[in-house]
Amino acid sequence: MSDAMLTPSSSEPILRIEGVYTNIAQYHILQGVDLVVPRGGVTMLLGRNGVGKTTTLRTVIGHWRAHQGRILFDGEDITKLPTPAIARLGIGFVPEDMGIFADLTVEENMILAAVSGPINSARLDWIFTAFPPLKTFWKSDAGTLSGGQKQMLSIARAMVEERKLYLIDEPTKGLAPAIISTMAKALKDLKDQGSSVLLVEQNFAVAKALGDSANVMDDGRMIWSGDMAELAHDATLQERLMGLSLEAH
Amino acid sequence: MSAAPEHAPTMARLSLSDRLAPHMPVLLVPLLALAGFVAIMNPASWLTLTVSGLAMGMMIFIMASGLTLVFGLMDVINFGHGAFVSVGAFVGISVLMLLGHMTSAPSLILNLAAVLLAVIGAMLATGAMGWAFEKIIVAPVYGHHLKQILVTMGGLIVVEQLIIVLWGPEEIYFNRPEALKGAITFAGAAIEKYRLVAVAVGLAVFAAMRWVLRGTKIGLIVRAGVENGEMVQALGYRLKLIFVGVFIAGSALAGLGGVMWALYQEVITAHMGNHAMILIFIVVIIGGLGSVEGCFIGALLVGLMQNYIAFLEPKAALISNIALMVTILMWRPMGMIPVVKAK
């Protein structure tokens, strides 16, 4: 893994979202979101359902357009760039619905995700270690995989090349505890390598285990930003921000 | 937090019916040929009709393959696709007429060279026309099916009228190059040489398309784009460029199909593409929207069905393909090999 990519080149955050408003049809989903994702580590994006977490990620990758505000990635304004150009700057995206190409094999899904050339064999070995079923079903159609295996493929696809930032939307949603453990371990590996991750997660145990910093959204705005540890240990704060205590989970 | 236990799945052997199910569409072609053999009861007639049906199917496949890809990848219902068939036929046959000294010479090489030049001319013209058609007519109506139907039908009418302005309103009759005239006799059956050429060209086009789609990264992007274009873009691929490329390729293939169809019929009219659209749509629908393999099988079924029924019960030939479509859609409502999922 190249040190150049993983060593912070400056103190600038890898991603900075400033006053972003996003509308979907007549609905005003994001209403002035501010968010800073530092280089290295896992930044959690938390909040109840429907507060704008997924829309924030989709606005960063360019699937939705910000009507106001700006998004800076690695110092470059990407607010108006098309999605492919944003992705090629070094952003890996794992959508909430996984975005698996069901009619392609696992191998073809991975080849497609390796945008810059053939898959690096050492990196593929690492992925197989993290997600053994992908090796077992390498030649199988992705549509035949179980839900957990599809999620593994979705994350593996983002990991197949080094990215400057990973946007991951609810990777443990609806998965069995054993699969959640596998996911969490893979994301921990990613974090230990110095990668920058912006993670939307509803599983608070995973959020506590992985998160370095946390941002809580409500009604399309960021209502709290700080250390994940601080949030994890303050039940009153959790109750105030999200209407429930993390300790209950 | 501990990792999941070692993954060691048990692989169960599927039953015969489960293993056959994915291949059933492919098996339909020999099954239909077999049914035709039983119904016709005359091996020589059956062979002639089968080759004729396969040739017709191959030409329909060439014309339809671009449409199915355009629909699958771009979600565009292009009722103007027939315009490329007509333009391809007129440009190709015009080139052939210009090369009359080559087509009338008793030389296989000169004849084939003339046809090759005609095909290149037709594909270049329809490819360029496809590029303009996408930019001017289709691009403003992405995502709006009703508008797509209206503007592409409008585009078809405009192109047909332009053909009439440029080549005149009359039907144009012509002769095939010398080497493609006549028939060979095999097992007591007379088989037109041109039909064998059409089968060979159809197989070559299918093999080339399959190789591009299954064996190259561009093909991977196209197949993935048919399923989930948004995700393909999130991986970093400029899908709009691929869209335009596929539209151009699909238009050029329709142009090739137009030349082949014209050489088959030995007459061209401004409306020939429009007339072929009925068969093209049947093939695309029963094949499964977006599926090249489904389109290929569907075209062969349509070609064989048309020829067998026209021989056995000529009056029923008109409805035979509609009946085929109804039957297949009752069996597989999304077509034989659907790629585009219900939206």
ipTM, interface predicted TM-score of the complex? 0.89
Mean pLDDT of B262-277: 94
Confidence category of residue B341, pLDDT binned at 50, 70, 90: low
Question: Could you tell me if A86 and A16 lie in one domain?
Answer: yes
Which pLDDT does position A7 carry in this prediction?
44
Same domain, A82 and A15: yes
Distance from CA of A42 to the nearest CA of B (A): 17
Higher pLDDT, B100 or B301: B301
Are residue A131 and residue A80 in the same domain, yes or no? no
* A9-18, A101-110, B162-171, B219-228: least confidently modelled range: A9-18
Q: Is B143 near chain A, with CB under 8 Å?
A: no
Residue of chain A whose Cα is closest to the Cα of B236: A84
* A139 domain-assigned: yes
Check A84 against B2: CB less than 8 A apart.
Answer: no
Residues of A in contact with B227 (CB under 8 A): 101-104
Task: State the pTM of this model.
Answer: 0.82
Last residue of a domain, one of A162, A184, A216: A162
May I ask the CATH architecture of the domain B51-331? Orthogonal Bundle (1.10)
> Mutating which of A57, A60, A83, A169 best tests the B interface, going by the most B Cβ atoms within 10 A?
A83
If you average pLDDT over residues A88-116, what whole number do you get? 94
Is the residue at A3 inside a domain? no
How far apart, in whole angstroms, are the C-alpha atoms of residue B259 and residue B273? 11
Q: Does B230 touch chain A (CB under 8 A)?
A: yes
Summarize pLDDT for B71-125 with one digit per residue, the tens: 877 788 899 999 999 999 999 999 999 998 898 888 889 999 999 999 999 999 9
pLDDT tens sequence across B190-209: 889 999 999 999 999 999 99
Q: Which domain holds residue A64?
A: 11-90+164-173+193-249
Task: Please report the pLDDT score of residue A141 as a whole number.
Answer: 93
Whether residues A205 and A234 fall in one domain: yes
Whether A86 and A202 map to the same domain: the answer is yes
Which residues share a beta bridge with A5? none
- Looking at the fold, whether A73 and A169 belong to one and the same domain comes out as yes
For residue B220, list chain A residues with Cβ-Cβ distance below 8 A: 104, 108, 111-112
B214 touches chain A (CB under 8 A): no
- What's the pLDDT score for residue A242? 74
From A162, A182, A203, give the residue that closes a domain: A162
Give yes or no: residues A70 and A36 share one domain.
Answer: yes
How many structural domains compose chain A?
Answer: 2
Mean pLDDT within B238-251? 91
Q: Which residues of B touch A103 (CB under 8 A)?
A: 223, 227, 339
Q: Is residue A221 part of a domain?
A: yes
Q: What's residue B29's pLDDT? A: 94
Residue of B nearest to A117 (CA): B217
- Confirm whether A178 is domain-assigned: no
Q: Which residue of B has its CA nearest to A132?
A: B7
**Amino acid B32: pLDDT:** 95
Residues A68 and A169 both lie in one domain: yes
**Residues A169 and A244 reside in one and the same domain:** yes
The mean per-residue pLDDT over the stretch B46-69 comes to 94
Domain boundaries, chain B: 51-331
8 Å CB contact of B234 and A108: no
Residues A246 and A223 placed together within one structural domain of the fold: yes
Q: What is the mean pLDDT of chain B?
A: 90
Using one digit for the tens of pLDDT, what is the confidence trace for A125-173?
Answer: 999 999 999 999 999 999 999 999 999 999 999 999 999 999 999 998 8
Q: For all residues of chain A together, what is the average pLDDT?
A: 89
Q: Do B234 and A61 touch (CB under 8 A)?
A: yes
In a domain? residue A6:
no
Biggest CA-to-CA distance, chain B? 81
Same domain, A115 and A84: no
> Is residue A243 a part of any domain in this protein?
yes
* Of residues B1, B217, B220, nearest to A185 (C-beta): B1
Closest chain A C-alpha to B253 CA, distance in angstroms? 25
Assess whether pLDDT exceeds 80 at residue A3. Answer: no
- A82 and A200: one domain? yes
**What HEC string does chain A produce?**
CCHHHHCCCCCCCCEEEEEEEEEECCEEEEEEEEEEECCCEEEEEECCCCCCHHHHHHHHHCCCCEEEEEEEECCEECCCCCHHHHHHCCEEEECCCCCCCCCCEHHHHHHHHCCCCCCCHHHHHHHHHHCHHHHHCCCCEHHHCCHHHHHHHHHHHHHCCCCCEEEEECCCCCCCHHHHHHHHHHHHHHHHCCCEEEEECCCHHHHHHHCCEEEEEECCEEEEEEEHHHHHCCHHHHHHHHCCCHHHC
Which residues 233-272 of chain B have a CB within 8 Å of chain A? Answer: 233-239
Query: Does residue B277 have a pLDDT over 50?
Result: yes
CA distance B175 to B186: 24
- pLDDT score, position A246: 54
Task: Look up residue B265 and give its two tokens.
Answer: 């019929």
CA A36 to centroid of chain Cα atoms: 14
For A209-232, how does the pLDDT look when each residue is reduced to its tens digit (9 = 90+)? 899 999 999 989 999 999 998 888
With CB atoms and an 8 Å threshold, state whether B227 touches A101. yes
**Shortest CB distance from A178 goes to which of B5, B220, B224?**
B5
| Nearest residue, CB atoms, A93 vs list B224, B234, B239 | B234
Q: Is residue A184 part of a domain?
A: no
CB pairs below 8 Å between A and B: how many? Answer: 73
Q: What is the mean pLDDT of residues B249-259?
A: 95
pLDDT at residue A24 is higher than 50: yes
Contacts of A112 in chain B (CB under 8 A): 217, 220-221, 224, 232, 235
A57 in a domain, yes or no? yes
